[in-house]
């Protein structure tokens, strides 16, 4: 699939997965304040992603695409095992680094985090199915590169600063991503005329809209990381020790 290969290569070059914050994070060069700020802000993604996926699913006309989206959503919800629901795995991570779930839930999103979550939700729920598919394609295909930067940094910080850290959420996602990529590849086959369901292929306009959605969600994600990079938490906020905690001014 030439179009598939082209857009996948475009995803893998984007600043959403090649930026200053991820470079520092991979090397373990973030302060405790920055680390806990990351943990709390990223929780917004873990919390709201199933809702975002569901919005895309109910707005998808193509049944072959809906089948693949259902697989991804079912995975997010634990593949039928409640204890494996991804947001619960993330809660274990938060508790293991000393952040309570209540504190994480009442902490306001940064402007850049809110833009990412709202932007992603708008794209996934769009009735322009090509742009919605492009957004979903982008996130599933950038994910392995993202996890491969986050996990080394987390491992280093667990060794040096957070020995009780539970990394299951991150390592579990890394193991799953090849299946998510496969699901998106099959969805692409359905709309690009190479699968067994549809032989019509994407029109030039649909390919354009697909790229618009793809780059839009990646731009939002890059903005999320750059929000953490440009406004480090340690500059204005402090986490008490032992065990990082949300500052009092962030609590409800």
Q: What is the CATH number of the domain that holds 139?
A: 1.20.910.10
**Residue at 40 is within a domain:** yes
Q: Helix, strand, coil: what percent of the chain each, to 5?
A: 70, 0, 30
Higher-scoring residue by pLDDT: 215, 82:
215
**Closest to 38 measured CA to CA, from 241, 226, 242:** 226
Q: Domains in the chain: how many in total?
A: 1
How much is the pLDDT for 70? 83
Q: Which domain holds residue 49?
A: 2-233
**Residue at 244 is within a domain:** no
Least reliable range by pLDDT among 87-91, 104-108, 113-117, 244-248: 244-248
Higher-scoring residue by pLDDT: 76, 37:
37
Cα(34)–Cα(95) distance, integer angstroms: 17
**Residue at 213 is within a domain:** yes
| Cβ contacts of 230 within 8 Å, gap of 6 or more | none
Query: What's the burial of 58, exposed, middle or buried (CB within 10 Å: 0-12/13-18/19+)?
Result: exposed
Query: What's the burial of 223, exposed, middle or buried (CB within 10 Å: 0-12/13-18/19+)?
Result: buried
How much is the pTM?
Answer: 0.82
**Residue at 123 is within a domain:** yes
How much is the pLDDT for 178? 59
Examine the pLDDT at 214 and tell me if it is beyond 70: yes
Would you give the distance in Å from CA 198 to the centre of its chain? 29
Examine the pLDDT at 252 and tell me if it is beyond 70: no
Query: Hey, how many other C-beta atoms are within 10 angstroms of the C-beta on 81?
Result: 8
pLDDT band at 183 (very low <50, low <70, confident <90, very high): low
Higher-scoring residue by pLDDT: 179, 95:
95
**Residue at 247 is within a domain:** no
Query: Hey, how many other C-beta atoms are within 10 angstroms of the C-beta on 216?
Result: 19
Cα(161)–Cα(35) distance, integer angstroms: 11
Which sign does the torsion angle of CA 191, 195, 196, 200 carry? positive
Q: What is the pLDDT averaged over residues 59-87?
A: 79
How much is the pLDDT for 190? 57
Coil vs helix vs strand at 1: coil
Examine the pLDDT at 71 and tell me if it is beyond 50: yes
Examine the pLDDT at 106 and tell me if it is beyond 70: yes
Render pLDDT for 190-204 as a digit per residue (tens, 0 to 9).
Answer: 565 544 334 457 899
Least reliable range by pLDDT among 42-56, 126-140, 211-225, 234-248: 234-248
**Residue at 206 is within a domain:** yes
**Residue at 85 is within a domain:** yes
Q: What does the mean pLDDT of the chain come to?
A: 84
How much is the pLDDT for 116? 97
pLDDT band at 57 (very low <50, low <70, confident <90, very high): confident
**Residue at 23 is within a domain:** yes
How much is the pLDDT for 194? 46
pLDDT band at 145 (very low <50, low <70, confident <90, very high): very high
């Amino acid at each position: 699939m030439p179009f598939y290969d082209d857009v996948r290569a475009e995803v893998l070059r984007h600043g959403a997965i090649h930026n200053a914050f991820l470079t520092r994070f991979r090397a373990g060069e973030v302060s405790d304040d920055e680390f806990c700020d990351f943990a709390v802000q990223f929780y917004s993604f873990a919390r709201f992603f199933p809702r975002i996926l569901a919005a895309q699913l109910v707005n998808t006309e193509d049944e072959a695409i809906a089948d693949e989206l259902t697989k991804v959503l079912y995975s997010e919800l634990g593949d039928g095992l409640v204890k494996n629901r991804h947001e619960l795995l993330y809660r274990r991570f938060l508790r293991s680094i000393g952040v309570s779930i209540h504190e994480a839930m009442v902490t306001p999103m940064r402007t850049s985090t809110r833009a990412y979550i709202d932007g992603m939700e708008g794209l996934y729920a769009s009735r322009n199915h090509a742009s919605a598919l492009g957004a979903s394609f982008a996130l599933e295909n950038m994910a392995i590169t993202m996890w491969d930067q986050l996990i080394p940094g987390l491992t280093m910080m667990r060794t040096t600063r957070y020995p009780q850290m539970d990394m299951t959420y991150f390592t579990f996602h890394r193991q799953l991503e090849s299946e998510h990529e496969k699901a998106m590849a099959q969805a692409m086959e359905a709309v690009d005329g190479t699968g067994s369901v549809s032989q019509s292929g994407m029109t030039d306009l649909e390919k354009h809209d697909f790229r618009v959605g793809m780059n839009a969600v990646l731009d939002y994600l890059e903005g999320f990381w750059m929000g953490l990079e440009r406004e480090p938490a340690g500059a204005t906020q402090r986490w008490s020790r032992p065990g990082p905690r949300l500052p009092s001014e962030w609590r409800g």
